[in-house]
Amino acid sequence: MSNPKLIVVSAPSGCGKTTIVKEILKSHPEFHFSVSATTRAKRNNETDGKDYYFITKEEFQKHIENDTLIEWQKIYDDYYGTLVSEVDKSFACGKSVVFDIDVLGALSIKKKYPEDSMLIFIDVPDMDILNERLKNRKTESPETLKKRIDRVEMEMKQKTLFDYIVINDQLQQAVDEVEKIISNNFN
């Protein structure tokens, strides 16, 4: 058996990374999902402790002070970070970890775990599709939608630093592609 791996899935908001990660986790119960901490408000379809640990800015600040985050970013006026405990508990039982984090967080993971991480960038065929997906998701106000779109250019610039780029046009095709990348890395 190979070493546990860090499978990092990143993309600008709306490209479909969370959808793809959920599909991957359904077919890989042997993987652990790294539940991030965030200060953003919980969406209706989210569960605390499963999708995120929803915490206050003060609690997040404590994590920074206590050095209990592997990486963190301020994104759209909120804080998001990967907890050391999420990776430690997976590695302790030999499990690989799947991350759904932003592009800068992904690059930090690569820096810390250059040998064992695989960085997968989820892209979209064009910006119109991205806009449409974000609007159809119905989770954003006009203001938060704009903040997400404003960050896309910077995020797209990072994609050449990723190990793999998968275009999420047809969902099942994109999931299959990610599956293939993962299985190639375990052989």
Residues 6+ apart with CB under 8 A from 145: 134, 135
The residue range among 98-106, 114-122, 158-166, 174-182 that interacts with ligand 5GP, by the rule CB under 6 A, is 98-106
Rounded Cα gap, residues 101 and 9, in angstroms: 7
CA distance 83 to 89: 10
| Smaller CB separation from ligand ADP, 46 or 163 | 46
Q: Are 178 and 121 in contact (CB under 8 A)?
A: no
If binding means CB under 6 A, how many residues of this protein chain bind ligand ADP? 14
Task: By CB under 6 A, name the one of 7, 23, 36, 60 that touches ligand 5GP.
Answer: 36
Binds 75, which of ligand 5GP, ligand ADP, none (CB < 5 to 8 A, cut-off by type)? ligand 5GP
Q: With CB under 6 A as the contact rule, which of the stretches 81-89, 90-98, 110-118, 166-174 interacts with ligand ADP?
A: 166-174
Q: How far is the CB of 57 from ligand ADP (least distance, A)?
A: 22
Largest CA distance in the chain: 48
Which residue shows structure tokens 């790294």?
Answer: 34
Q: Is 21 in the site for ligand 5GP (CB under 6 A)?
A: no
